[in-house]
């Protein structure tokens, strides 16, 4: 395909070769300046006037999108040469009298102060290698990566798996993969992920008409809508009949290999939506809500920022002197320290009881049923029905279909015994057989998340956290009806308090309803990295639970 004159090509920036990047940056600079000169005022505006906002808007000929991308590169590219040159191009455009964008918000997460996240350009060698891998593969260093990098070992496994699912050889064509990602993220109204994959879908040649709604996509993808819906909200309802409908619908049928690929993508993006909301991931700088062309007000806080998602929380909640009153601060700190000490004491007592006596199988089963029943009544005071935003809801059908607890309205779902169908003994081999290497990649990712530990709890070191990690994982599986015969579910109530359970259930079942208040209210003395670690457990436990129900149905269809 012939390049249009003046078209901006970004591909060369993903090269690890500095000379290739320099050539690409020169071409980008020339193309941007040519476009800018066609709309710039006759005489360049002095920078003093630019500061007053008396500049020409950059909306014509797609220039605003190009400038937003340059802003993103100047802040988020792991290669210093690209950051510096992008900033220089923006400055030159501003000198021509054209308004340039500025970032909105504070860093990759709305829940974690920017100064406590890894700053691009200040990362260590291992993190830089991960950032460079992510950028050269995706063409961006996204906010999910910048929060996950609190745990580099996990991030490496996550990026490797996602790269394989989206870009390596596999049963599904590339544009189908991104469209399935859009369908999955849209079930939770996750505009962050939808926006990323809309761009990727178009980049790999996807038909823009499909983005007008699921009814405009091929019938084969429309048929996947029902499975997407159940996997996201009520996976325990999936039967072999649902699988049969997909595999035997004449000309629109799925092959088993294609279906496995689709199921892994759906579960990956449902759980990634949980992470996105659970960690308060901010919009990407170059996406809607991540930047503005409006000049900052004198106070550096402008009403237009509110509409773009930045609420100036730090300014609003600070006391007149700019600090929290000492008495309140000390009281909260003391309460939080007591919370950590109490949790460690409970872990110690549970270990001692376990060493002394073991509950009978009947008692263990009773405790599971009690915990499963109680999990239905864990809900937030902020739990309200929210209508999906129109632009996201068009990507899926039946927008009223959401998470429902098992026995609401008298519905009963049998307990799923992990001993009868487990990831290790059944799911892993089925995925690996039909979609080679993916079973191995998923298995590695599950194990890293489950076993990840730094032997710390808040300010305490040399702590064995395995009991706590197992309680979190098993509580999530319990909410999905999955029972481990060898686990004492009485431990969950001892280790997870109500505010933590509310957070877990919201992030896993209705992530779009997660709030900063929920994030702040559990484990108040713990580090943000520890709360991100909790989210990794939630992501992987949820993904595995969804996979188990889908893979069990596929196995039953095959036998």
- Give the pLDDT score at 386: 44
Tell me the longest C-alpha to C-alpha distance in the chain.
86
CB atoms within 10 A of CB 447: 13
Q: What is the DSSP string of 471-504?
A: HHHHHHHHHTTEE-TT--THHHHHHS-HHHHHHH
Which DSSP category does 397 fall into? S
Give the tens place of pLDDT for each residue, 68-97: 999 999 999 999 999 999 999 999 999 998
Measured distance CA(511)–CA(237) in Å, rounded: 20
- Give the pLDDT score at 377: 66
Active-site residue (options: 14, 190, 287, 478): 190
- Give the pLDDT score at 548: 97
State the average pLDDT over residues 22-26.
Answer: 95
Q: Which of 8-12, 310-314, 470-474 is modeled with the greatest confidence?
A: 470-474
Q: Is 115 helix (H, G, I), strand (E, B) or coil?
A: helix
- Give the pLDDT score at 366: 77
Helix then strand count (H, E) for the chain reads 25, 6
- Give the pLDDT score at 27: 94
Give the tens place of pLDDT for each residue, 415-452: 899 999 999 999 999 999 999 999 999 999 999 999 99
- Range in 26-30, 339-343, 491-495 the model is least confident about: 339-343
Task: Please state the separation of Cα 399 from the chain's center in Å.
Answer: 21
CB atoms within 10 A of CB 186: 27
Q: Are 309 and 289 in contact (CB under 8 A)?
A: yes
- Give the pLDDT score at 395: 59
Helix (H) or strand (E) run with residue 457 in it: strand 456-457
Q: Check pLDDT > 50 for residue 491.
A: yes
Q: Check pLDDT > 80 for residue 524.
A: yes
- Give the pLDDT score at 28: 94
- Range in 128-132, 323-327, 377-381 the model is least confident about: 323-327
Binned at pLDDT 50, 70 and 90, residue 46 comes out as: low
Q: Which residues contact 59 (CB under 8 A, 6 or more apart)?
A: none
Give the tens place of pLDDT for each residue, 149-173: 999 999 999 999 999 999 999 999 9
Rounded to the nearest 10 degrees, how much is the dihedral formed by the CA atoms of 476, 481, 483, 489?
60
190 is catalytic: yes
Q: Check pLDDT > 70 for residue 245.
A: yes
Of the candidates 53, 49, 51, the residue with the CA atom closest to the CA atom of residue 294: 53
- Global confidence as pTM: 0.85
- Give the pLDDT score at 229: 94
Measured distance CA(68)–CA(290) in Å, rounded: 9
Q: Check pLDDT > 90 for residue 125.
A: yes
Q: Check pLDDT > 80 for residue 251.
A: yes
Measured distance CA(268)–CA(273) in Å, rounded: 9
Q: Check pLDDT > 60 for residue 99.
A: yes
- Give the pLDDT score at 502: 93
Q: Check pLDDT > 50 for residue 528.
A: yes
Measured distance CA(55)–CA(511) in Å, rounded: 41
- Give the pLDDT score at 57: 56
Percent of the chain with pLDDT over 90: 62
More confident residue, 237 or 353: 237
State the average pLDDT over residues 501-513.
Answer: 95
Q: Are 151 and 238 in contact (CB under 8 A)?
A: no
Give the tens place of pLDDT for each residue, 268-317: 999 999 999 999 999 999 998 999 988 876 454 443 343 334 444 433 33
- Give the pLDDT score at 43: 41
Q: Check pLDDT > 70 for residue 337.
A: no
Which ranges in 318-437 belong to alpha helices (H)? 326-356, 361-375, 390-393, 428-434
Q: Check pLDDT > 80 for residue 537.
A: yes
Give the tens place of pLDDT for each residue, 383-419: 444 444 546 656 555 555 555 555 454 456 568 999 9
Rounded to the nearest 10 degrees, how much is the dihedral formed by the CA atoms of 66, 71, 73, 79?
140
State the average pLDDT over residues 90-115.
Answer: 92
Of the candidates 182, 184, 233, 187, the residue with the CA atom closest to the CA atom of residue 212: 182
């Amino acid at each position: 395909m012939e390049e249009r004159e003046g078209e901006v090509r970004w591909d060369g920036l993903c090269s690890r070769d500095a000379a290739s990047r320099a050539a690409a940056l020169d071409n980008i600079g020339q193309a941007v300046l040519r476009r800018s000169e066609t709309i710039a005022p006759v005489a360049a505006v002095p920078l003093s006037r630019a500061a007053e906002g008396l500049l020409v808007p950059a909306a014509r000929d797609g220039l605003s999108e190009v400038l937003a991308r340059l802003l993103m590169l100047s802040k988020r590219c792991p290669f210093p040469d690209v950051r510096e040159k992008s900033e220089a191009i923006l400055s030159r455009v501003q000198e021509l009298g054209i308004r340039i964008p500025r970032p909105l918000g504070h860093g990759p997460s709305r829940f974690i102060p920017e100064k406590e996240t890894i700053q691009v350009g200040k990362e260590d060698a291992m993190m830089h290698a991960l950032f460079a891998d992510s950028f050269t593969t995706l063409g961006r260093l996204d906010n999910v990566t910048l929060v996950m990098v609190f745990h580099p070992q996990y991030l490496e496994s996550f990026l490797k798996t996602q790269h394989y699912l989206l870009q390596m050889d596999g049963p599904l064509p590339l544009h189908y993969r991104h469209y399935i990602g859009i369908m999955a993220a849209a079930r939770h109204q996750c505009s962050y992920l939808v926006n990323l994959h809309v761009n990727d879908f178009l980049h790999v040649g996807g038909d823009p008409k499909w983005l007008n709604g699921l009814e405009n996509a091929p019938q084969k993808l429309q048929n996947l809508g029902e499975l997407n819906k159940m996997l996201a909200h009520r996976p325990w309802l999936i039967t072999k009949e649902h699988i049969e409908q997909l595999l035997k619908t004449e000309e629109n049928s799925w092959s088993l290999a294609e279906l496995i690929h689709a199921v892994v993508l759906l579960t990956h993006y449902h759980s990634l939506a949980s992470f996105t909301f659970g960690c308060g991931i901010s919009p990407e700088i170059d996406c809607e809500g991540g930047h503005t062309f409006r000049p900052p007000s004198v106070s550096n806080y402008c009403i237009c920022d509110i509409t773009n998602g930045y609420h100036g929380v730090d300014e609003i909640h600070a006391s007149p002197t700019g600090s929290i009153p000492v008495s309140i601060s000390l009281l909260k700190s003391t309460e939080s320290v007591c919370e950590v000490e109490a949790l460690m004491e409970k872990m110690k007592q549970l270990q001692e009881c376990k060493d002394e006596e073991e509950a009978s199988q009947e008692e263990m089963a009773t405790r599971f049923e009690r915990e499963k029943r109680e999990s239905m009544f864990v809900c937030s005071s902020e739990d309200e029905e929210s209508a999906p935003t129109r632009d996201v809801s068009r990507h899926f059908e039946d927008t009223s279909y959401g998470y429902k607890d098992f026995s609401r309205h008298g519905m009963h779902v049998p307990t799923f015994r992990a001993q009868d169908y487990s990831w290790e003994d059944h799911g892993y081999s089925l995925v690996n057989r039909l979609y080679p290497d993916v079973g191995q990649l998923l298995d590695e990712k599950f194990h890293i998340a489950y076993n990840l530990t730094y032997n710390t709890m808040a300010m305490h070191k040399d702590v064995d956290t395995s009991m706590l990690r197992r309680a979190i994982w098993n509580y999530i599986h319990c909410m999905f009806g999955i029972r481990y015969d060898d686990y004492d579910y009485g431990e969950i109530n001892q280790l997870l308090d109500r505010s933590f359970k509310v957070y877990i259930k919201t992030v896993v079942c209705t992530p779009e309803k997660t709030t900063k208040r929920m994030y702040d209210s559990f484990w108040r003395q713990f580090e943000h990295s520890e709360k991100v670690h909790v989210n990794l457990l939630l992501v992987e436990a949820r993904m595995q639970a969804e996979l188990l129900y889908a893979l069990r149905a596929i196995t039953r269809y095959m036998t």
